Amino acid sequence: MAEDENIQLIPVTWIKQYHFCPRIIYYIGVLGFNERTTESMIEGKEFHISEEKRSLLRKTLAGERKEFIKRSWSRVYALSNKLGLYGIIDEVAETNDGLVVIENKYAKAPRKPHSGHIYQAIAYAMLAEEIFNKNVKKIIIRYVYDKKSFEIKVTDELKKHVIWTISRIRSIIEKEKIPRGINNYKCNNCGFRKMCKDIR
C-alpha cells in the first residue's frame, strides 16, 4: 500500500466489523453511524479497566505454557500511514521468544476464535511491528470472562488477508455502495438490525 500522508486512516476495529458483516462498514464508514451501545458493551468497558491493571502485574503469559514476560506495555496507541490504520493495542509483551500481542475480548469464549477477532489482532501485530521495529511472533486472543486464551502464529498469509480486508473497507467507503446484507443468525446480535430490515 502506498504511503500517503493524506490517506484516511481506518480504525482497526473496522477489520473485525468487516468480517462480521461488510454492510456494517457502509453504516459506520459512509453514513457515519455508531453501533448502538449495549449493556454488555458497557460492562465490558468497566471490566476492561480492571483487566488493564491486572495485565501490568502479570509476570507470565496466560497461554497453555507459562512464558516469562520480560517487559510489557498496556494500551499502546498505534498509527500507521503505511497500513492506513490506527488503534489501541491492548497489550504487547516481550518474552524470550520475541514480541507477543494480546487482544482481550469480553464476549463469551467460542470453540475457536471468530475470523474477525483473528484479523483484528493480526492488524494490531502489524502495527506493533512498525512501532517496536521487531517481529511479532504470535497473537493471543484472551476471552477474559471465560479465562480462555488462543495462541495464533503470525504468518504472511494472515497479514496478506488483513491488507486485503483494508482494501475492501476502502472500496466500500470510496464507492459508497451498500454491500449485500448477510441475512443470517448474526443479524440477531447486530446493532443495525432494525435499519437493515427497512432496506431489505
The three cell numbers of residue 157 are 498469509
Does 178 interact with ligand SF4 (rule: CB under 6 A)? Answer: no
Q: How many CA atoms lie within 13 A of 154 on its CB side?
A: 25
Considering only 5-13, 86-94, 145-153, 179-187, which stretch makes contact with ligand SF4 by CB under 6 A? Answer: 179-187
How far apart (Å, rounded) are the C-alpha atoms in residues 127 and 29?
A: 21
Contacting ligand SF4 within 19-78 (CB under 6 A): 21, 23-24
Does 187 interact with ligand SF4 (rule: CB under 6 A)? Answer: yes
Give the nearer residue to ligand SF4 in terms of CB position, either 114 or 148.
Answer: 114
How far apart (Å, rounded) are the C-alpha atoms in residues 126 and 160?
A: 11
How far apart (Å, rounded) are the C-alpha atoms in residues 135 and 124?
A: 12
Residue 181: Cβ within 10 Å count = 19
Does 186 interact with ligand SF4 (rule: CB under 6 A)? Answer: yes
Give the nearer residue to ligand SF4 in terms of CB position, either 50 or 183.
Answer: 183
Positions touching ligand SF4 (CB under 6 A) are 21, 23-24, 181-183, 186-187, 190, 192-193, 196
